[in-house]
Amino acid sequence: LGGSISRAIQQMSNATIIDEKALNECLNEITRALLQADVQFKLVKDMQTNIKKIVNLDDLAAGHNKRRIIQQAIFNELCKMLDPGKPSFTPKKGKTSVVMFVGLQGSGKTTTCTKYAYYHQKKGWKPALVCADTFRAGAFDQLKQNATKAKIPFYGSYMESDPVKIAEEGVERFKKENCDLIIVDTSGRHKQEAALFEEMRQVSEATKPDLVIFVMDSSIGQAAFDQAQAFKQSVSVGAVIITKMDGHARGGGALSAVAATKSPVIFIGTGEHMDEFEVFDVKPFVSRLLGMGDLSGFMDKIQEVVPMDQQPELLQMLSEGTFTLRIMYEQFQNLLKMGPIGQVFSMLPGFSSELMPKGREKESQAKIKRYMTMMDSMTNEGKWQLDSTNPKLMNESRVMRIARGSGRPVRDVMEMLDEYKRLAKVWSKMKGLKIPKKGEMSAL
């Protein structure tokens, strides 16, 4: 896909006369590519129409950077399509919220419920899981196993066959126990489809969720729109989570899900494990959709903002892909300064969206400084620790010492180490990044 889009744009920029015909040909090529990425036909057509309105033929003809203009227009348009215009309901820590998960069997609901609970638990919430899937044998066992592993309270039954009753009882119980995030997992299959949607409606009526999350497998292809719409028509879906983004699917169905539910994507699932879960970030997602990789614009940015003499060193470090605590420390410094290198890192998917979400800069800065204080106290342990990439070396007694040394609770040290693991994963995506040879930078 990426190949054909860049080819289309390449052909376009090679053409000497940019007329409407050439633009149309380019757009048709991109249309085909987006369809292959499972973007719904109608959405692709809409985008095509909009692009034509936006891209000014005179600008193109005047010899401005045509490739940039078209690429940027497509990129922006897709970003816009992923933004339904209003944020989803966001639960508040310490205040009871009920969140109901819906989606077809196999989409990843039960797995995602646990990830969602675990994600919040790590941030100090008190989540709980309710299994309202009484259709599939083994559904409760699966949830129980997940919940136990993550040490999250759960509710369900092997005997009771009425999902509405269980959902109601579970929510009731966890409200009494002052849980602030009560998550209801539901069934995704029924003998008849109509019965499934009726069941969702009833569970929703009984539990009065503050938020209904539609979970969708990224590989379902063109079926995405109808599936999302069917759920939206029976319960008031307010957010979307796309799963299995670690596979081959580019996830074009996400555009359909947003269009059908008029709700934003809030997280993506990137693996079977509990922590393979990321806050959704529009730009890297669209880059991936367009086959531009997660690093689109990254090289440009380096070239643009990092002083020439610092570029080779930065690229070298990135291409090695090794992420030590020391590197994390240095990048935190860069991020706080928001100097040139900090700006570059703020573009890395999963780097700034999580560490420094917009509007919460103060809070985030305090958090980063807290992490740095803890790392400061690690230097007393000897330099090797900061340069090690083996988390096993971080045993219990060391964690305790760091906590004591920095005057922070053990929980904070664990959080900092979790953050390290997460960033190390983001960082490892850089491995093998092609380093341009001298003089090649400007050709990119």
List residues binding Mg ion (CB under 5 A). Answer: 109-110
Shortest distance, position 244 Cβ to ligand GDP, whole Å: 4
Residue of 127, 156, 163, 188 that binds ligand GDP (CB under 6 A): 188
Q: Which of 303, 307, 357, 311 is nearest to 335 (CA)?
A: 357
Residue of 34, 74, 98, 108 that binds ligand GDP (CB under 6 A): 108
Going from the C-alpha of 385 to that of each of 9, 371, 389, 421, the distances in angstroms are: 48, 15, 8, 15
Q: Is 33 left (phi over 0), alpha (psi -120 to 50) or beta?
A: alpha
Residue of 111, 227, 234, 263 that binds ligand GDP (CB under 6 A): 111
In this structure, are residues 8 and 30 in contact, taking their beta carbons and an 8 Å threshold? yes
Residue of 153, 253, 269, 342 that binds ligand GDP (CB under 6 A): 269
- Which of Mg ion, ligand GDP, none does residue 108 bind (CB under 5 to 8 Å by kind)? ligand GDP
Q: Using CB atoms, what's the residue nearest to ligand GDP?
A: 269
- Which of Mg ion, ligand GDP, none does residue 107 bind (CB under 5 to 8 Å by kind)? ligand GDP
Shortest distance, position 301 Cβ to ligand GDP, whole Å: 29
Piece in contact with ligand GDP (CB under 6 A), picked from 69-77, 104-112, 314-322, 356-364: 104-112
- Position 103 contacts ligand GDP (CB under 6 A): yes
Residue of 76, 96, 105, 157 that binds ligand GDP (CB under 6 A): 105
- Position 106 contacts ligand GDP (CB under 6 A): yes
- Which of ligand GDP, Mg ion, none does residue 253 bind (CB under 5 to 8 Å by kind)? none
Shortest distance, position 115 Cβ to ligand GDP, whole Å: 8
Please give the Cα distance from 356 to 39 (Å, whole number): 31
CB-wise, 39 or 220, nearer to ligand GDP? 220
Residue of 2, 84, 221, 271 that binds ligand GDP (CB under 6 A): 271
CB-wise, 109 or 408, nearer to ligand GDP? 109
User: Segment 191-250, which members bind ligand GDP (CB under 6 A)?
Assistant: 243-244, 246-247
CB-wise, 28 or 161, nearer to Mg ion? 161
In this structure, are residues 52 and 28 in contact, taking their beta carbons and an 8 Å threshold? no
CB-based contacts of 220, cutoff 8 Å, min separation 6: 38, 107, 227, 253
Q: Which of 347, 265, 299 is nearest to 78 (CA)?
A: 265
CB-wise, 247 or 307, nearer to ligand GDP? 247
Contacts with ligand GDP, residue ranges (CB under 6 A): 103, 105-111, 188, 243-244, 246-247, 269-272
